[in-house]
Amino acid sequence: MSSFTDLWREISDIGGSPSEGYVRFAWTAVEWELRTWFRAQAKARDLEFEVDGNTTMWATWNPGGVPGPAVVTGSHLDSVPHGGGYDGPLGVVSAFLAVDELRRRGVVPARPIRIAAFAEEEGSRFGVACLGSRLMTGAFDPERARTLTDSDGVTLAEALAGYDFDPARLGPAPLSDVAAFVELHVEQGRALTVPVGIGSSIWPHGRWRMDFTGEGNHAGTTLMGDRHDPMLTYAFAVLAANKEARTHGAHATVGRVAVHPNATNAIPSRVTGWLDARAASASTLDDLLSGLSAKIATRAGKDGTTVTITAESTTGEIGFSDALIERCLTTLGEKTPVLPTGAGHDAGVLSAFVPTVMLFVRNPAGVSHAPAERADDEDCEAGVEALADVLAELACR
Ligand code: HGY
Ligand code: MN
Ligand code: MN
Ligand code: MN
């Protein structure tokens, strides 16, 4: 049986390093290495390995051969560009170790326990967050998914076919197979001051693509008064998003931008910025978006540019199962903190369909989506124990 440290080391060189961060995009050679590792872990534990039509990997432990819905745990293996190593993989590694722990305890579950690794959770390659779980629940149209395009112009259907996955198999899966979902995840801010906490809810959030169009021209000869510079409208939008977020007690970020033609001596003809916005309530998020859109439109009028804002993926208010939170508290101790998060998760997508809860592991750096993301090994071990306790509670009673 592996210790946390040993199992963690097995993936710590795949797709990056702790100092530089990880680039682990869906349906790439790096992800394939992680898939190979997952499959080997399932095999080493004599778990039944499967890949479904959405390319989610499953490893099933069902020693009693019992029929019926499973208690599912797991997370994702993909990352944001140069992200930390914990966001996602911690939940998958902990899931394998929790099964080891239950075996060590001599537990025989009364229902199957399944480990899942969802694809493209970050949406880093095709832009739609939690794409694997959205497809599974029917929350995203498979036809539309097949035509999503990455930054190299590769469609999702082509990316799948490149690894012998059949794009025609994308789509909803029977959720009646899932009795409950428990996702363990590194906490992504400074909210947790003890090793393990329980998730209560996820802030409503979304991603919007903002396309600014103007008139490309020479940087040296075009009079300042003659310009239609979309970069100006874009710059205004970034500052306005920050201001709106502060006014609303919300969060707004523009972390990605594409400029055409991207030349120092040319006024750009086109700028695309991607807005990530999140708020404690859906109405606050709506207010933020409508206020911001109006301000940007006014500014575009002054700049002689045009702007279109398109939602790429949105997630409404999510509260995890009260009953499961109660059972986690009974199992882990009534003093275990129960906390909301501003980060999105496959658990958030599944929670609209099946009883779902999350466990968080302390993040001493308070950083995520960046190489400095951390969790101490001792806290990760406490996370595995907690996950094993919760799985025993949900799968044995
Ligand atoms: O972007 C997010 O909130 C997440 O970590 N997938
Ligand atoms: Mn993430
Ligand atoms: Mn994650
Ligand atoms: Mn010239």
Report the nearest atom of ligand 1 relative to the CA of 205. 3
Per-residue pLDDT, 64:
92
Which of 22, 80, 128, 312 most suits a substitution to test ligand 1, by most atoms within 8 Å of the C-beta?
Answer: 80
> Structure tokens of 364?
């001493």
**How much is the pLDDT for 274?**
98
Of all ligands present, the nearest one to the C-alpha of 83 is 2
Residue 81 and residue 125: Cα distance in Å, rounded? Answer: 9
Does the CB atom of residue 131 touch ligand 1 within 6 A?
A: no
Residue 73 CA to residue 356 CA, distance in Å, equals 10
For residues 6-18, give the mean pLDDT. 97
Q: How far is the CA of 373 from the centre of ligand 3 (A)?
A: 12
Compute, in angstroms, the gap from residue 388 CA to the centroid of ligand 1.
25
pLDDT in tens, 285-323: 999 999 999 999 999 999 999 999 999 989 999 999 999
Residue 372 has a pLDDT of 97
- Cβ atoms of 39 and 115 within 8 Å: the answer is no
Look up the ipTM and state it.
Answer: 0.90
| Backbone angle region of 385, left / alpha / beta, with phi > 0 → left and psi within -120 to 50 → alpha | alpha
Decide whether any atom of ligand 1 lies within 6 Å of the 343 Cβ. yes
pLDDT surpassing 90 at residue 394: yes
pTM of the model as a whole: 0.96
Give residue 397's pLDDT band: very low, low, confident or very high (50, 70, 90): confident
Q: For ligand 1, is residue 344 a contact (CB within 6 Å)?
A: yes
Closest CA to 166 of 43, 25, 31, 27: 27
Q: What's the 260 CA to ligand 4 centre distance in angstroms?
A: 17
Residue 2, pLDDT score = 85
Q: Which domains does the chain have, with CATH numbers?
A: 4-204+317-396 (3.40.630.10), 205-315 (3.30.70.360)
Write phi, then psi, for 238 (nearest 5 degrees).
Answer: -65, -45
- pLDDT score recorded for residue 74: 98
The ligand 1 atom nearest the CA atom of 345: 6
122 Cα–ligand 2 center, Å: 6
